[in-house]
Amino acid sequence: MKSMLEEIKNTSLSAIDSAYTLNDLEALRVKYLGKKGDLTSILKQMGGLSPEERPVIGQLANEIRTRIEDALENRAVEIKQAQLESKLREETLDVTIPGKKIFVGKKHPLATVWDEVTDIFIGMGYTVVEGPEVELSDYCFTKLNTPPGHPARDRQDTFYLTEEEDICLRTQTSSVQIRVMEHTSPPIRIISPGRVYRKDEVDATHSPMFHQVEGLVVDKGITMGDLKGTLNTLMQSLYGKDVITRFRPHHFPYTEPSCEVDMQCFECKGAGCRVCKEEGWIELLGAGMVHPKVLEGCGIDPDIYSGFAFGIGIDRLTMRRFNIRDLRLLFENDMRFLRQF
């Protein structure tokens, strides 16, 4: 019996030593010290011992029980410590490591100018409206006094979506003028920024998709003077109080009279240089007094009301604002370029 006890002691202690989890330890405790455990079942056989042997074996059994209990306890402490250490190692946080930089995006230069122009007009009491990019040719041309056969409807200039050519990608935001006038009675004071499309080859100053902001004012007694004052205010807000503008006669089918507006070259102050292609002036936009036929077509009486309209290229304004020489840079989405603004 003594040797059986010794055997239990040796096997249990070495098993405890090589246990790696608290669960393993608990299983060993049950195996050796539990009610049906190895040590218990030996003690149950003590009845068969002689009265001299009994206290000796009893004492030995108790000693072994204590040894096993101590071993279990010590090993449990070691396992917990090891678990704690590995957890600490895994969760180490080095607060001295520099943080990862989060790149906060910024506005595209086009969006900056778009928003600036919009803000200036909102400040003058205008409402912003949106129009569809896929447009009825009626709205893009016919109702703007540009009937079928007019050169502005040339296949070369326009993307048509149907064989009948009654639906197109709008070539100008002027289509929104018609949409607004058909559904609103004067006084009208709106701008409409948006994308437009033309069959242009891509180069430094052309793109088949670009941006315009349209403006329209219709009320009683609106004159060319109001148009000039409004556009001068816009240009001074964008380019500074010293900007010099020039209103030059032009032709658009939907305005009478029509004009183009230039600003004196900021680089050479009118003397002529590379920026203005030796002209001294830089073209900014088209404008004019809304043609009476256009008003009438939208149900507005031209004998009572008059109005002005204008269309500005946002891409051009942006290029001038940030001194960008090539339009393509605005659409290539090269972050090295865009991050500069």
Residue ranges binding ligand DAH (CB under 6 A): 172, 174, 214, 252, 255, 286-288, 309-311
Q: How far is the CB of 194 from ligand DAH (least distance, A)?
A: 12
- Residue closer to ligand DAH by CB (options 32, 310) is 310
Q: How far is the CB of 290 from ligand DAH (least distance, A)?
A: 7
Place of tokens 């709008």: 170
- Residue closer to ligand DAH by CB (options 265, 287) is 287
- Residue closer to ligand DAH by CB (options 28, 129) is 129
Nearest-10 Cα torsion for 326, 332, 333, 335: -70
Half-sphere exposure of 288 (CA within 13 A, CB side): 21
- Residue closer to ligand DAH by CB (options 28, 135) is 135
- Residue closer to ligand DAH by CB (options 50, 156) is 156
Gap between the Cα atoms of 214 and 237, Å rounded: 17
Q: How far is the CB of 169 from ligand DAH (least distance, A)?
A: 13
| Contacts of 293 by beta carbon, 8 Å cutoff, 6+ apart | 145
Q: How far is the CB of 266 from ligand DAH (least distance, A)?
A: 22
184 burial type by CB count under 10 A (0-12 exposed, 13-18 middle, 19+ buried)? middle
Q: How far is the CB of 308 from ligand DAH (least distance, A)?
A: 7
Gap between the Cα atoms of 278 and 140, Å rounded: 34
Gap between the Cα atoms of 254 and 266, Å rounded: 31
